[in-house]
Amino acid sequence: MIKIKNLIISILIPLVAGIIGSLLGNASQGFEELIKPSFAPPGFIFPIVWTILYILMGISFYIIYNSNSEYRKRAIIIYFIQLILNMLWTLIFFRLNLLLFAFIWIIVMIIFVILMIYYFYKINKISAFLQIPYLIWLIFAGILNFSIYVLN
């Protein structure tokens, strides 16, 4: 049975982390000022995509949180580590303007997301599959990050 309150909290956690990350990085200002590759999407796309990804992340986390798996604790720890890494990336990229370090940071994020998907899969396949768009977006973001580093 779905526990609506827990589901809402599970969805709000990554959404709030995303808002905090955006505020820390002042992302709305910095992106337009950078020289970007031709494949860079317009700035307004990012909040839309991230909102969808955070909602999927929250639903996925809800499933894991409510499981009785022996892997539950490890999966939750990895989930929160990747969420903190995610939240701090905008600070590193936009506010601190450490473009190469931000690229390395994304590589670390990708590793943690792969680990998260691995443990989520051991608990619930649907929960793991809900993270695939996030992984794909991070890979794209890494390529974009590196390209921006090279151009700037």
d(CA 7, CA 30): 33
Instruction: For the chain, give the longest Cα–Cα distance.
Output: 51
Residues in the chain: 152
Confidence tier at 104 by pLDDT (50, 70, 90): very high
pLDDT of residue 26: 80
Using the predicted structure, report yes or no on whether residue 27 has a pLDDT greater than 80.
no
Q: How many domains does the chain have?
A: 1
Q: Which amino acid is at 77?
A: I
What digits encode the pLDDT tens for the residues 36-55? 999 999 988 999 999 999 99
Residue pair 116/134 in contact (Cβ under 8 Å)? The answer is no
| CATH code for the domain in which residue 79 is found | 1.20.1260
Given this model, what pLDDT does residue 32 score? 75
- Backbone φ, ψ for residue 28 (5° rounding): -65, -30
Domain range for 10 is 4-33+42-151
Tens digits of per-residue pLDDT, 48-92?
999 999 999 999 999 999 999 999 999 999 999 999 999 999 999
Give the pLDDT band of residue 1 (cuts 50, 70, 90).
confident
The model's pLDDT over 123-150, given as tens digits with 9 standing for 90+, comes to 999 999 999 999 999 999 999 999 999 9
**pLDDT for res 28:** 60
Q: Is the pLDDT of residue 122 over 90?
A: yes
